[in-house]
Chains A and B, each alone.
Chain A
Amino acid sequence: MQPSDSRKTPLTFDTIEPGSGLAAALAKSRADIIGEVSASNLKGRGGAGFPTGTKWNLAAAARVHGEAAKYVICNADEGEPGTFKDRVLLTAYADLVFEGMTIAARAIGATRGLLYLRGEYVYLRPHLEAVLDRRRKAGQLGADILGTPGFEFDIEIRMGAGAYVCGEETALIESLEGHRGEPRNRPPFPVNTGFMGQPTVVNNVETLASVTAIFAKGAAWFRGIGTEKSSGFKLFSVSGDCDAPGVYEFPLGITIAELLERVGGTGAKAVQVGGASGQAVPASQFGRRIAFEDLATGGSIIVFGPGRDMLHVAKNFMEFFVEESCGQCTPCRAGNAKLLEGIERLERGACSSAYLNELVRLCETMQVASKCGLGQSSPNAFLSIVTNFQDEILGRTPADR
């Protein structure tokens, strides 16, 4: 009944001495800090996989407007269904996350950091505040951090309020600015015009903790893990029909089959990689690799056992997207509702192939015409069952329910 520790494998983060990453970073020049991150080939752990070094470089080069300063934001709005590794990180490795933010601040010249914590994790707040307090007292936050003259940086925790879309970085910024969490037009990007119009780096919790690890152990070490295009280790949030759901660490490049072996999920019918906005991979493709070059993911793995009804799964996802669409742009607001309606038709066995094909084309429109990643990726759930489980969803009778 009370939450238990989710960790199922030892994590590399256990081996990182808090403080060592920051100390190593502060010994470097700003350009070298960014150079080190770029050399590590670290890509955003939230799912989109944007190279972290490039992002920092852009923010470092961006001009501040007026007298204000740059910002570092930690995106702790972990809302992707099936993802909970950030919760574990914030619970057990908060120091590493804050340290990553501090390193980012040093790199881009920011003086203020914000951690946007999802409303559902409000119970973590006292713990996080305590860690921040301790860090302030230890001189790891505040003025002249660790004796570095002129390096001033502090972190504030701000709460989300139950909106998945705020995981999208510009919606998150809108929310921080006191608006409805509606994504902005891009360009300009936050690295130029972010929070309060200032250059802003928004990084995922795991990305920032990984930065700390990189400085503690070196970019070469990090690059030695994983594949050529997908360097490093990655946390996976595993749930669904397997023996040991929980948080796992694997090097990037692991196949689904290997992963299922480790979590006790062999015999699965399909695996959802990347959460609701990812895709349902059928058993025939379990040889595929989880890496940026094949199946990119923020780490959500949901295992579907042999008896699961994939239409039911897709319906759950579409209900989620209908509810979580910010409602701003037409393709996402109205498109998700149409896809859900289509699933309900399929459930009733009342969907013609012609209409189903129309919906598939609508998915294509949503993917290319929606304003943000939510609407661009929400059709994936629909598309993957239509592609991979067509015989299961067409011509249903009441007995199939």
Chain B
Amino acid sequence: MSGEVKAGQDTSRAPSSQRIQQVAAPPDVLQMIGGQITVTIDGTDVKVPMGTTVLEAARQIGIRIPTLCHHPDLCVAGVCRICVVEVEGQRTLQAACAYPITGSLKVKTHTRKVRQARRHILDLLLSTHYGECYSCKRNNNCELQSLAKEYGVDFYRFGHVTESQYPKDESSYSVIRDMDKCILCRRCVRTCIDVQEVGTLEAVGRSNRTRISTFLDKPLAGVVCINCGQCINRCPTGALHANDTSDEVWRAIDDPTKHVVIQTAPSPRAGIGECFGCEPGTPLTFQLNTALRLCGFDKVFDTNFSADLTIIEEGTELLGRLYRALVKQEPAAFPQFTSCSPGWVKYLEHFYPEYIPNLSSAKSPQQMFGAVIKTYYAKTHNIDPKDIVTVALMPCSAKKFECNRPEMAGSGFKDVDYGLTTRELAQMIMEAGIHLPDMPKSGFDDPFGDRTGSGVIFGATGGVMEAALRTVLELVTGRKVEKLFEHANIVPVRGFDGVRYVELPITQVADEVPALIRHVIPTFEFLKGATLKLAVAHGTANAHKVLEDIKAGGKLSECHFIEFMACPGGCIGGGGQPIPTSPEIRAARARAIYAEDMESDVRKSHENPAVARLYSEFFTDGPCGHLAHELLHTHYTARGKHIG
């Protein structure tokens, strides 16, 4: 995981007070001690590399030091002070998360002073923490609450606020902010500035008036926010949560006149088990199908189907662009950017609107599915689209904004009515009295029951690229992808490095273009001998790097196709996924996804029979055809950064 996006390195703009501090030691000293130092923590010796923090060293030997502002994805802050420990020879206690080991130390982690300080810090935080635990979204999953329990808080030593001090910001479709519950750990700030390079949230004011806020304290809907929800996933309390629409979904289920269908994306299926006590990376795809039917959903569909559809549309678009540019010498924007991550799309609309032509016009799988359900499915099943309610289970808070974009109603009806996060759906399942892991398995509903492994891997960074390549390479070269890459696993685009660049030479091309896309690209001959240049980026801080490189005419500007995911790790690390999140948890979810891909009978989008059927029965003018443009493609809004 070494290459994973980690804040605080090269491009960080975080204040130095919150940056990883490099401790420079003369090389000869390092040599002398072999770079390893022995420290004694609570009487136990542990050997650690120079620069390791006391917190990390303690964890290595199973000593638990409580933390609040510390997060494995983020640079050091050292502000909550809950992790203070006694370091021999130091007058004051030291924050274990921020104290680098550069010499041998003796540390004590639970002396009277330490225990008193921790208890006081909790008491102080609780004195300004307004709200009752039982009416909080994070009840039983709150780091402040569990520390209060751990430290035996049974009364409010320094009092407790009895009325709200801040209005709740509920302006956003995606993210709700409740400063009353904020403990000012600044994880959200570090996430928003360092990991995402969006800078929506920042510490504002000073003294005990310090608050986390936006530019000029404007509501989230009125400032630059990409709705990615990464802040939610790192919030230790209930100060940030997604805009929950599960009540509306229940209402639709309860309404007998409504036909309620749900599509489930692969990432939530790899994550939802965590809400029920399963190990991260426990896939519950088919148990979930049963649970959803028990909850009362009329149909359960697999977003993989529309992911395959997306590949066909987006892949055709890419080939079309190549043909226009290379053969017809017409203008075509390169590199083509993926458009399935709504956080990324909004990031581009705000920060790089001049690159909107590069975005694929294909809708995301969520939206394509909604459009197909309210048209093709409604027609073939003889249901009035106005009576259909489409729900999407997504790992994402930005999907909530996406489904409310006014342009997402090509059929005359809202493509997707409600987007639910993994956490919200888990809540609904619990409310229905269902213990998900105990459910028997069941399949997806027809007519979209056919699915491929390509759709599954959309959930991990590099997955869309891999899925697209499986199809594009096979169609263009006329050879089975398995011949080019073992098991059709296009490993070079996988992994967690923030930006990955791959070149794929095309040495031979198929004699004939498949009929399905021949109207867009009559021949592949012009691609013979060409080298496809591709890149993958995840986390918008990395997107920022890529776009700056493109702007500067760097290597990445020569790419043909770039996959962008707003969230670190891709959808598996989405803002709607179970909390907590960490590099290890994301890796476990990714493993579940790639395993599901390997187990699939069909692993390439263009081989999905249901997709083929859809083109032969409904989108008869083919991918990127007239009807597809109406229903499966969209347009974007140049938003810019200026806040009026």
A–B contact via C-beta, under 8 angstroms? yes
Interface size (A, Cβ < 8 Å)? 46
Q: For residue B99, which residues in chain A have a CB less than 8 angstroms away from its CB?
A: 185, 187
Looking at B15, B22, B127, B183, the one whose CB has the most chain A CB atoms below 10 A away is B15
Q: Does A283 contact B (CB under 8 A)?
A: no
Q: Which of B76-84, B556-564, B603-611 contacts its partner? A: B76-84
Provide the residues of chain B in CB contact with A329, threshold 8 Å: 78-81
**Interface 1/0s, chain A 107-133, versus B by CB < 8 A?**
000000000000000000000000000
> Does A257 have its Cβ within 8 Å of any Cβ on chain B?
no
| B184 close to chain A: CB less than 8 A | yes
**Option from A174, A337, A369 in Cβ contact (under 8 Å) with B208:** A337
CB contacts (< 8 Å) of A184 on chain B: these are: 16-17, 21
Q: What mask results when residues 370 to 391 of chain A are scored 1 for a CB within 8 Å of chain B, else 0? A: 1100001000000000000000
Query: Is B2 in contact with chain A by the CB < 8 A criterion?
Result: no
List the B residue with the shortest CB-CB distance to A173. Answer: B16
**Among B113-121, B267-275, B461-469, the stretch in contact with A:** B113-121
Which candidate, B90-98, B396-404, B535-543, B585-593, is the interface stretch facing chain A? B90-98
Docked-complex contact A174 and B207, CB < 8 angstroms: no
For B113, give the chain A residue with the smallest CB separation. Answer: A368
> A193-B22, A328-B17 given as contacts; is B184 within 8 A of A333 (CB)?
yes
Please determine whether A365 and B120 come into contact, CB atoms closer than 8 angstroms: yes
Residue A135 at the chain B interface, CB threshold 8 Å: no
- Known interface pairs A327-B208, A338-B124. Does A188 touch B23 (Cβ–Cβ under 8 Å)? yes
A150-193 CB contacts (< 8 Å) to partner B: 163, 170, 173-174, 177, 179-180, 182-185, 187-188, 192-193
Task: Give Cα A335 to B123, complex, Å.
Answer: 10
Using CB atoms, name the residue of chain A closest to B119: A365
Instruction: Compute how far the CA of A367 lies from the CA of B90 in the bound complex, rounded to whole angstroms.
Output: 13
| B-contacting residues, A319-371, CB 8 Å | 322-331, 333-338, 358, 361-362, 364-365, 367-371
The chain B residue with its CB closest to the CB of A375 is B81
Interfacial chain A residues near B84, Cβ < 8 Å: 368-369
Binding site secondary structure of chain B:
loop
Q: Chain A 175-216 against B: per-residue CB contact (8 Å), 1 yes, 0 no?
A: 001011011110110001100010000000000000000000
Is B128 at the interface (CB under 8 A from chain A)? yes
| A334→B93 contact, CB < 8 A | no
**A28 at the B interface (CB under 8 A):** no
How far in angstroms is the closest Cβ of chain B from A189?
Answer: 10
Chain B CB count within 10 A is highest, among A63, A173, A334, A362, for A334
Residue of A nearest to B123 (CB): A362
A308 at the B interface (CB under 8 A):
no
Report A365 CB to chain B, min CB distance, Å.
4
Note all chain B residues with C-beta closer than 8 A to A182: 15, 17
Are A325 and B81 within 8 A (Cβ)? no
Contact A365 B15 (CB under 8 A): no
**CA A177 – CA B14 in complex, angstroms?**
11
Per the 8 Å Cβ criterion, residues 101-121 of B in contact with A are: 102, 113, 116-117, 120-121
Does the CB pair A185–B206 fall under 8 Å?
Answer: no
Give chain B residues whose Cβ lies under 8 Å from the Cβ of A185.
17, 21, 76, 78, 95, 98-99
Within 8 A of A (CB), among B254-303: none
What's the least CB distance linking A246 to chain B, in Å?
31
| B116 contact set on A, CB distance < 8 A | 361, 364-365
Q: Tell me how far the C-beta of B548 lies from the nearest C-beta in chain A, rounded to whole angstroms.
A: 21
A187 to B157: give the CA distance in the assembly, Å. 33
Interface assignment of A65: CB less than 8 Å from any CB of chain B: yes
Q: Are A323 and B124 in contact (CB under 8 A)?
A: no
Q: A28 → chain B, closest Cβ, in Å?
A: 26
Residues of B within 8 A of A336 (CB): 208
A325 to B208, CA, bound (A): 8
Instruction: Name the residue among B24, B80, B100, B125 with the largest chain A CB count within 10 angstroms.
Output: B24
Residue from the list B98, B117, B125, B205 in contact with A334, Cβ < 8 A: B125
Contact of B128 among A323, A334, A364 (CB under 8 A): A334
**In the complex the two chains form, what is the Cα distance from A336 to B116 in whole Å?**
17
Interface centre among B121, B127, B208, by most A CB within 10 Å?
A: B208
Contact partner of B24 (CB less than 8 A), chosen from A63, A333, A338, A362, is: A63
**Cβ contact within 8 Å between B23 and A187:** yes
Q: Would B17 and A183 count as touching, CB distance under 8 A?
A: yes
Q: Which residue of the partner chain, among B22, B125, B157, contacts A358 with CB atoms under 8 Å?
A: B157
Q: Is B502 an interface residue (CB 8 A)?
A: no
Q: Which of A64-84 contact B (CB under 8 A)?
A: 65
Contact (A330, B95) CB under 8 Å given A185-B17, A362-B158, A365-B116: no
Count how many pairs of residues, one from A and one from B, have CB atoms less than 8 Å apart in the complex: 140
How far is it, in angstroms, between the C-alpha of A174 and the C-alpha of B116 when the chains are bound?
31
- Contacting residues, chain B, for A324 (C-beta < 8 A): 207
Q: Is B210 an interface residue (CB 8 A)?
A: yes
A330-B81, A361-B120, A368-B117 known; A180 vs B93 contact (CB < 8 Å):
no
Instruction: Determine if B209 is an interface residue (Cβ-Cβ < 8 Å).
Output: yes
Return chain B residues, CB-CB under 8 Å to A328: 17, 79, 184, 203, 210
Contact across chains for B95 and A365 when beta carbons are under 8 A apart? no
Within 8 A of A (CB), among B7-43: 15-17, 21-24, 26
Do the beta carbons of A323 and B207 come within 8 Å of each other? yes
- Nearest Cβ on chain A to B188's Cβ, whole angstroms: 15
For A170, list chain B residues within 8 Å (CB). 17
- Chain A residues within an 8 Å CB radius of B183: 330
Which residue of chain A has its CB nearest to the CB of B186? A328
Q: Are A187 and B208 in contact (CB under 8 A)?
A: no
Chain B CB within 10 Å, residue with most, of A197, A327, A358, A367: A327
Residues on B with beta carbons closer than 8 Å to the beta carbon of A326: 206-207, 210
- Residue on A with the closest CB to B204? A180
A84 to B116, CA, bound (A): 38
Counting chain A CB atoms within 10 Å of each CB, which of B17, B125, B184 scores highest? B17
Bound complex: CA of A337 vs CA of B124, how far in Å? 10
Give residues 41-81 of B contacting A (CB, 8 Å).
Answer: 76, 78-81
Residues of B with C-beta under 8 A to A323: 207
Contact flag A371-B157 (CB < 8 Å), given A63-B26, A330-B125:
no
Q: Contact: A330 with B207, CB < 8 Å?
A: no
Are B207 and A327 in contact (CB-based, < 8 A)?
Answer: yes
Which of B81, B128, B184 is in CB contact (< 8 Å) with A371? B81
Least distance between A50 CB and chain B CB atoms (Å):
13
In the assembly, what is the distance between CA of A174 and CA of B14, in Å? Answer: 11
A331 and B206 within 8 A (CB): no
B208 touches A322 (CB 8 A): yes
CB distance from A331 to the nearest CB of B (A): 6
Contacts of A369 in B (CB 8 A): 81, 84, 92-93, 117, 120-121
Q: Contact at A334–B124, with CB atoms within 8 Å?
A: yes
Query: What residue in chain B is nearest A324 (Cβ atoms)?
Result: B207
Task: Sort A-B residue pairs by CB-CB distance and give the 10 closest, nearest first.
Answer: A327-B210, A334-B124, A185-B98, A179-B15, A365-B120, A184-B17, A369-B117, A185-B78, A365-B117, A337-B208
Can you list 9 A-B pairs, Cβ within 8 angstroms, ordered by A? A180-B15, A184-B16, A185-B21, A188-B24, A193-B22, A328-B79, A330-B81, A330-B184, A358-B158
Which residues of B are at the interface with A, using a C-beta cutoff of 8 A?
15-17, 21-24, 26, 76, 78-82, 84, 91-93, 95, 98-100, 102, 113, 116-117, 120-121, 124-125, 127-128, 157-158, 183-184, 203, 205-210
**Apart from A338-B124, A361-B120, what are 19 other A-B pairs with CB-CB below 8 Å?**
A65-B24, A177-B16, A180-B206, A182-B17, A185-B17, A188-B100, A192-B23, A192-B24, A324-B207, A325-B206, A330-B124, A330-B184, A331-B117, A333-B207, A334-B208, A335-B124, A362-B120, A368-B92, A368-B117
